[in-house]
Amino acid sequence: MEKEKINIKKIKLYDPHPGRMGCPIPLPQPMKKIADSLDGKIMTLTEAIDIINSVAKKYNGVIEDGWEYISFEFTRNNIKHRYRLIRYNEIRE
Domain boundaries defined on the chain: 10-90
Query: pTM for the whole thing?
Result: 0.84
pLDDT tens profile 29-61: 999 999 999 999 999 999 999 999 999 999 899
More reliable by pLDDT, 20 or 53? 53
pLDDT-derived band at 67 (thresholds 50, 70, 90) equals confident
Separation of alpha carbons 65 and 1, rounded Å:
22
